[in-house]
Amino acid sequence: MKITGKQHFVRAALVSVLVATTTAPQAASTSTAGMARRPNIVIILGDDLGFSDMGAFGGEIKTPNLDSLAKAGVRCTQFYTHASCSPTRSMLLSGVDTHRNGLGNMNEWIAPNQAGKPGYEGYLNTRVTTLPQLLKDSGYHTYMAGKWHMGNKPDLIPAARGFERDFALLDGAGSYWDMANFSATTPKSTFTEDGRYLKKLPDNYYATKTYTDKMIGFIEANRKDGKPFFAYVAHQAPHDPYHLPRDWRNRHVGEYDKGWDAVREERLKRQVDLGITPAGTELAERMWFVPDPIVLAPLARAFLGKKMELYAGMVENMDFHVGRLIDYLKKVGEYDNTIFIVFGDNGAEGADLFKMITGTPGTANYLFAAIEWSQTDPNAWGDPHSYVGYGPMWAQVSMTPFSQFKGNLAEGGIRNALIVSGPIVKRPKGSINNKSVLHVADLMPTLLEAAGASYPKTVNGQELPPLIGKSWVKTLAGEEESPRSAQDYLAWEVFGNRAVRQGDWKLRWQYKPYGTEEWELFNLATDWGERHDLAAQHPEKVKALLALWDDYVRVNNVILPNRLIWEGMAKAMPDRYPVFAGFPPLIYQRQFVPPTNLLADPKP
């Protein structure tokens, strides 16, 4: 959809023009009326970044640059993405539900009964338009650096989906140092730059640094033409493998030897002190298969703690490079006119992805991993050809105070820390919004409204699916408490797991071992950790939410998979029992020490 110069001038002047969403147009918001010129937009996306990792959300990890954006803007604590990366990214850029935009399931896990069905292409399909395309058509420069994971073919890469400039890793993960990938069938990662597939990477390549270098270069190249820009910085960090320069690896030596339970408790206390979580919030139950660190030998705690040290270094390194971008924008006078949006794409990663990819001895992938990813000595962790992930125990720490982690539809899989700053925010600087239930699909209507652009009904004669999100413009301006009414609901499905939330109530169904394969009901107003299933006490609420779930399935053509990521997992894991501190007493017993005044030597 091309816009003429005259139309562009009108839109630039009338920056409060509204987005055509699934409902009738609303009255113009006063919150955009005071912008002298259209704002720049920077989205900083952390890959598997946890809810509590940033200092501004209670983490002990040092993130001064991200925290500075929180202090200048607003933190939102009820923001939802999806449970895995490409589904989230597809909704971020399209504003359309995953089951309609092509990511009804991840490409890596499409089930036989989903293959070939509309909405299950495994890439961002061409029946949707994209946020960068609409912004580009309305006069923005559009830039992307980082991980794509929404299609590899020439008509699916960033340059074909609205990005004017790009430097992109097309795959879902990879080495931070080179093009090394993880399997015998896909030994090499694929990159593009400005729509061309790269034969090799730039000299001195390191993912987080190079993505930042490229984004600064893109902005600088066109800076003097006066056009606003949209910058999508989709970091790999802190996704495993934990690769980082040596001078970033030892900044938390020994800090995590105390174990995951202690760190979770410390993070929760800081969250309550900051106002992130309400006083009295219960931590989610420690995963039943994760040991109490108290019973581990000191060497085992130190070994596992080193993995968390590396993860913390990854987050701090990402924060450092975010700071470089912020400093650049301040230097060139664009910072004050830039909207910053920061969040993670899903819950923290608790699964052993490397084991899932490499498989079992005797397979080609296993042999490939043994040869190409052979740096297993802890002293080499972080180097090329090393692969480290931190496991479920630390993933739960990253998702404090929530239950579970990435891949699941518990809060720990889909609820993320959100920072918004810049001219769109009129709330007090450094404030915390605990009221608004927000969703990643809201970014399309929000940023179109802020940019003075609109969502068309058709593109190239093809009718577009309706947007599912709600604009945050009035909420960020303090003109309304939330963009959602008590009747609005959110719903999710991926890997066969499913959930629906309306108001404070959430209904959840998950496969074993992480779920019960029954519908569970939680009141999130008082139970952030999803510890108390209220389905038996409130059958009428279960029935009402099930009706919403059925509506979601019908509207979005949800096809539940007939093959599962969870197959065999319950049998391979310990039986699930409740976790109580100090149980069983047998393993916590300490040596009995008699009173000294009753000690005696044996009689002859």
Q: Which residues are the active-site residues?
A: 85, 149
Q: How far apart are CA 396 and CA 402, in angstroms?
A: 7
**Could you tell me which residues come within 8 angstroms of residue 362 by beta carbon, excluding any fewer than 6 positions away?**
none
For residue 372, what are its two tokens?
Answer: 């190409």
Instruction: Residue 171: name the closest of 195, 187, 194 by CA.
Output: 187
Give me the count of residues in the chain.
604
The CA-based angle 274-280-282, given to 5 degrees, is 100
Q: How far apart are CA 382 and CA 241, in angstroms?
A: 8
For residue 491, what are its two tokens?
Answer: 């719903």
Q: Are 302 and 257 in contact (CB under 8 A)?
A: yes
**Residue 21: CB atoms within 10 Å:** 21
- Chain centroid to CA 481: 24
Q: How far apart are CA 472 and CA 444, in angstroms?
A: 10
Q: How far apart are CA 195 and CA 182, in angstroms?
A: 24
Diameter over CA atoms, the chain: 110
For residue 124, give Cα distances in angstroms to 99, 148, 180, 321, 431. 10, 10, 25, 28, 35
Residue type, 366: Y
Q: What is the CA radius of gyration of the chain?
A: 24
Q: State the burial class of residue 557 (Cβ atoms within 10 Å of its Cβ: 0-12, 13-18, 19+).
A: middle
Query: Where are the extended beta strands (E) located within 6-162?
Result: 40-46, 74-80, 141-147
DSSP state of 416: E
